[in-house]
Amino acid sequence: MTRLAALLPVAATGWLLTFATTGKQPAGSRPFPLALPPTAAVAAPQAERGPRERISLNEGWRFYRYGPAATPDSLIYDVRPEVRNEQDSKAADSRPTEAVAVAATQTVLKPWILPTGNDFIRDPARRHARPAGNPGGHFPFVQAGFDDTQWERVTLPHDWASKGPFYAGEGVPIGGGMGRLPVQGVAWYRRKLAVPATDAGRTFYLDVEGAMSYAMVWLNGQLVGGWPYGYSSWRLDLTPYIKPGQENQLAIRLDNPPASARWYPGAGLYRNVWLTKVNPVHVGQWGTTVTTPRVSKTAATVSLRVAVANKGASDQRVDVATEIYQLSAQGEKTGRPVARLPLATATVRAQATDTVAGVVTIANPRLWGPPPTQTPNRYVAVTTLLAQGKALDVYETPFGIREVRFEPDKGLFVNGEHILVKGANQHHDLGPLGAAFNERAAERQLQLLRAMGCNAVRMSHNPPAPELLALTDRLGFLVLDEIFDCWELKKTPLDFHLIFPDWHEPDLRALIRRDRNSPSVVLWSFGNEVGEQYTGEKGAAVARELYAIAKQEDPTRPTTVAMNYAKPDMPLPAVADVISLNYQGEGIRNGGAYAGLKGISTPPLFPAFHQKFPGKMILSSENASALSSRGEFLFPVYPGNSAPVADGQGGNSTTHQVSAYELYSVDFGASADKVFATLDQHPYVAGGFVWTGWDYLGEPTPYYSSRSSYSGIIDLAGFPKERFYLYQSYWRPELPMAHLLPHWNWPQRRGQPTPVHVFTSGDEAELFLNGKTLGRKKKAAGEYRLRWDDVVYAPGELRVVAYKHGRRWAEDRVRTTGEPRQVTLAADRHTLQATGEDLVFITAQLTDKDGRPVPTAANKVAFSVEGPGELVATGNGDAANLVSFASPAREAFNGKCLVIVRARKGAAGTIMVRAQSGGLAGGSVSVQVR
């Protein structure tokens, strides 16, 4: 009893024991309360010791993909409609269409895969019974004796398409919409599982964080199950099929359809895969729920629910004890427990799950909140299951304590402080790395967004990697967690609508159970611009079903659905708790240069929605969709503040570039200036999410011969565009900054008017050309840049001095440079860990003889790596460039390119990266690996 005595509570109020198989769950009654309790979540998985082992399966895989001329095997999940004449470049706001019915004429494996989702189907009558038989059991690839030595060796996360080559031109299998990379096709992954004989009697799970897509799994020749949605995380029980003391053969088949997405989906086992070993009695999958129903500076009530699963053949009496610790900024437990929940006892029936609930009070809690005014403090609940004094399981649940309110007239409040949502939409790819998740690459994305002033991320439009949410928890970003881009109506012929009827409930419940403890998640979104906006009451009925599921899983957070068409008097907007508008707030194709364009057209609708729904907060879930190419300045310059891209108006359909003056957008969008003005005019709007923070693969509006977007504020290589500084000036008004554009290398414009714009957090500025003043200007109401549109170009130096409240605030200068003479390398950090996953991002800058960056240079740069590292990818941020990311040589785009280097696993030493460019002095940089 010594162990139990040590777990007695410090401070607590009683326990509640409920039986989970009754189907009773917390009701999600409406109206939704405006004061929301903070919640928490299981963070990125880490290796654990003791009764629970979580073992990475990322190494040791063999990979095979059927070639273009090969006929894939017939082990299909289901039949699909035939795709004919799909228009890859149709507008992003095109109306979704009805599904196409297809009758199966061959054996499909869907009946064997559907039972994988049973734990996420609430109604027992709707759960799936597994048919008899073992489809695919005799297929060679699932057999232990199959010779796969000629297959490619790969390490996960693995995106089979990211190295290319890119498809060029028209009539190709994958066009610009999906990124022109070879994502389509059927592929297999195989590896051995060595399970010691001492593991006999344990329970084994395969945990897959993301597999693109239609995954089906065999172990030792037996079909175990699978999951079709490529973004979901899921689990298979391997216990009936595993053979302790023997070498086990695992085989995973993926089938990635063409025409299945509106952006680059990635391909393969592109997130982490784990083997989890537990005792038959253990904490269930995502089995803890932490909420904090009462929070103040002096005390916080922490409520914990623990689902205890018993996979054994007999009932088991279990003691449940939990200690709560503070976490350091690095996520490590610190000091002694700050609280202990009281010991609880439950008798868990065989093959059932019981839920134990308890409450404790933490004095003087350290609250989680977004920087810079708050700190993302975190805790961890360590739950131990014991039987007769022996630990059966130890399960850790990181969480945060925070109080969130959604006020219809004022916006979002965190811990009593009004927080304007300064958000960015983010797709899931990592640029030159493709969709293969890498923690350092994702961290870099968030760090650059933070430097711009961003405090929130919308996961558009799918579940993120769990490690990404661990990062947003640690760094203090607010998260809008989103799951579906379509429901029953389709946007592309083979998208999620094909599986929505069978899988929308398991997918939505799985997302919320996985992410509900994450303090960064403040809002659930169950749809983006879905076609059901157009179908009135029928579409609203689908929304109500999804809403009910979300409330059953998490009654503490509000829900939303992003709308680009639905109007206040339609039934769908009435369903969700928060009104989320895509582009409708500032108006779609409304006024000025947008008048008369084809497509959805609306006036600014913030006032109409606020009047119709006075009890709901309004969020601009998608705005701007401004377009630009880093360092490209096209003339003439539009005299207004926002215009759609066209030839002669910010665009060049020959070079496939968009002007970096940051005045241009997609037809349904607007410039940042127009968005800022609209938000300032409607202070009850909580803020919004720009489309997008980073460029992403696919959807290269307006030039679908390209392979990546133009909408990012940061380009695909991670280099800020001019718009970065415009957002920084608006989102960080306390930061002294000024930024001049364009560059000043214009020999062909000598004597011609060359507009000069200034982005500054100051309120006025004076411009100088070669020491001569060109006047001092002050921002007027509704203006977010200062413009000198009549500057006559002369080589030399442009300088701006910004002022705020009459005092000197910041300055910037640009100079005319000479020709490129050398390559200069700069690493984003100089120490790596030898994990086999750690990355360094190295910028190659072409400079003149005086070391000044040459903004127009396009020289080809070749990279080499020496020491315990390897070149992973290169990039330059040019959306039109179709050179493989795997190429070690790359042309600079407007003076810059990037090389990404990975430290080898277990190898310490010095990595030396060198860059050479014909006729120029080379550059080098060193990085230490520990």
Q: Is 407 in the active site?
A: no
- Token pair belonging to 778: 């002050």
Burial code (b: 16+ CB inside 10 Å, e: under 16) for 833-842 equals ebeebbbbbb
- Token pair belonging to 790: 């009549």
List the helix and strand counts (H, then E) for the chain. 9, 51
Q: How far apart are CA 738 and CA 429, in angstroms?
A: 31
Q: How many CB atoms lie within 10 A of CB 58?
A: 19
Question: Residue 391's beta-bridge partner residues?
Answer: 386
Q: List, as one string, the DSSP characters of 639-664.
A: SSS-EE-EETBEEETTTTEE-TTS-E
Closest CA to 501 of 49, 78, 58, 71: 78
Q: How far apart are CA 236 and CA 154, in angstroms?
A: 22
Catalytic residue among 553, 622, 699, 837: 622
Q: How many CB atoms lie within 10 A of CB 404?
A: 24
**List of residues 6+ apart from 781 with CB closer than 8 A:** none
Backbone angles phi, psi at 556, to 5 degrees: -90, -20
**List of residues 6+ apart from 112 with CB closer than 8 A:** 130, 131, 133, 135, 223, 225
Q: Angle, to 10 degrees, between the axis of helix 466-475 and the axis of helix 500-515?
A: 40
Q: List, as one string, the DSSP characters of 653-695.
A: TTTTEE-TTS-EE-TT---HHHHHHHHHH-TTS-EEEEE-SB-
CB-CB contact of 273 with 209 (8 Å): yes
In one letter, which amino acid is 783?
A: E
**List of residues 6+ apart from 208 with CB closer than 8 A:** 215, 227, 233, 234, 235, 236, 269, 271, 273
Catalytic residue among 529, 553, 586, 764: 529
**CB-side neighbour CA atoms (13 Å) of 31:** 11
Give the rounded distance of the alpha carbon of 460 from its chain centre. 7
* Kind and range of the H or E run holding 506: helix 500-515
In one letter, which amino acid is 754?
A: T
- Token pair belonging to 40: 């928490």
> Maximum Cα–Cα distance for the chain, whole Å?
89
First CA to last CA distance, the chain: 43
Burial code (b: 16+ CB inside 10 Å, e: under 16) for 477-508 equals bbbbbbbbbbbbbbbbbbbbbbbbebbbbbbb
Burial class (CB in 10 A: 0-12, 13-18, 19+), 425: buried
Closest CA to 197 of 146, 248, 144: 248
Tell me which residue has tokens 């910041």.
810
Q: Is 170 in the active site?
A: no
CB-CB contact of 248 with 416 (8 Å): no
CB-CB contact of 256 with 185 (8 Å): yes
**DSSP letter, residue 22:** G
Distances 526 to 462, 487, 503, 523, 565 between C-alpha atoms, Å = 9, 9, 13, 10, 16
Question: Residue 65's beta-bridge partner residues?
Answer: 187
Distances 248 to 39, 144, 243, 686, 851 between C-alpha atoms, Å = 40, 8, 7, 53, 59
Q: How far apart are CA 693 and CA 688, in angstroms?
A: 12
CB-CB contact of 854 with 820 (8 Å): yes
Active site residues: 529, 622
